[in-house]
Structure 1
């Protein structure tokens, strides 16, 4: 049985959906391409998508995976008619009708190209050109990424700073003190909007003895004191106090 793609109006249905094809009395479903084209000729350009989707949805009810097959069917039918009308004698009396139909078909084909996700209408040359353009764009992106990487690597140290083994808490206490240092003018010596610059700097640039400092561990030293993961530093683990220098008396 030949597969049918388009939705016909019911026999003796004189109030069909505006996109249904065929006539109310004579139904020859073998000519569905002709009826589809006849309906297309009567539609304004702005309804092409709705017309296409109407018949596509009808086809998908019976063929859920048939989106590409439906597109190829419609595309092939339109191309055949464009070829047919393009070969017509322009001096014949019916040429004006043929020309109008050709304009409609070409406009509908332009619409089909916009939804051609399978590259059915792409020639080999066009596909190669598109591929070359994509490769060129990827190369530009790669060059940009390499430039960014080169810039980042300028700030990469050849080795990490070693915190004496067993004294991680003492070091972290110093970092916390740095956060709280206030200048004579009342402003903080250093400031950040959040904690991440501190713990990421430490995890990246320091090691504890011969072991790396896990990012999560560093983060727990610099999270909010209300956090259940916050690491408190006891007095016995502290080793230094940063004391501000007294201003020199100028008199």
Structure 2
């Protein structure tokens, strides 16, 4: 057992909102568990995580071989022992109302501890089974959601493709490059791609060359990504494959 699990209050630290345990004046060590409970009783439900983490980080930093599991076991033992002690207290005393409030708050804090328990520390069979069933239900729900998303993706996945005549795949590339660069009368682009590489991916996915898949790498070499790209890595479409030119339509008078 370690000599210290919780961060002690600094001498002359009179901050009433501190998470540290102990008194601002010299105090007898060895009963820091009571000081931990005293500080806990002043917390609300939303403050439990930060309170727990405050002392956990101190403990982990103080002992090189310390683990969260060791700290968790120590804290949970304090809480469960105190709850048990309060349950067995004489009900017919002037302190009963306060002790009941303390017990309810400790039970609330214990619920928080159980929610972060990765090790199933001292859980009853019923608690363990309940938690496992909750985890299974959560996984089943996530699995169902993933299946629905996967189904939607499969519906969009093409089963058919567009076949290009043998040896004419670069002619298609030339047309795509022209479409990519077309601009409207106001100077704005006709099409806008979030990434320029999407043009290559579209061709690789939806087109075939004489019934055979086209590798993404072979397409990319004809599509310069941007003006700053290394031009030596890309090829121009040969003149013999530039069979079509996309030109603006003539304006018609009304």
Give the TM-score normalised by the residue count of structure 1: 0.68
Say which one has the larger Rg: 1
Whether the 8 Å CA contact 2:175–2:246 is kept in 1: the answer is: no
What is the aligned partner in structure 2 of residue 33 from structure 1?
A: 33
CA deviations on 1:84-128 (whole Å, 9 max, x unpaired) are: 112223123442342243244234334434544545486223212
Range moving further from structure 2, 84-93 or 202-211: 202-211
What is the aligned partner in structure 2 of residue 91 from structure 1? 92
Task: Tell me which residue corresponds to 2:133.
Answer: 129
State the alpha-carbon separation in 1 of the partners of residues 43 and 180 from structure 2: 69
Q: Is the 8 A contact 2:8 2:22 kept in 1?
A: yes
Aligned-partner SS, 2:221: helix
Structure 2 Cα separation of the partners of residues 243 and 74 of structure 1: 75
Measured at CA, do residues 209 and 76 of structure 1 come closer, stay the same or move farther in structure 2, by a change above 3 Å? same
Q: Secondary structure at the residue paired with 1:221?
A: coil
- What is the aligned residue count? 235
1:203 is displaced (CA, Å) by: 1.7
Matches within 5 A, 1:39-78: 39-41=39-41, 43-45=42-44, 48-49=48-49, 51-60=51-60, 61-78=62-79
Equivalent position of 2:12 in the other structure: 15
Unaligned runs of 5+ in 1: none
- State the secondary structure of the residue aligned to 2:191: coil
Correspondences of 1:191-202 after superposition (within 5 Å): 191-194=190-193, 195-196=196-197, 198-202=199-203
Looking at structure 2, the residues matched to 143 and 92 of structure 1 have their Cα atoms a distance apart, in angstroms, of: 59
Helix, strand or coil for the counterpart of 1:216? Answer: helix
Q: 1:98–1:138: structure 2 CA closer, same or farther, 3 Å change rule?
A: closer
Does the 8 A contact of 2:200 with 2:223 survive in 1?
Answer: yes
Q: What is the deviation of 1:35?
A: 4.4
Measure, in 2, the Cα distance between the counterparts of 1:243 and 1:110.
69
Deviation (angstroms), 1:215: 1.3
1:84 aligns to what SS in structure 2?
Answer: helix
Question: Could you say which residue in structure 2 is the equivalent of 1:231?
Answer: 235
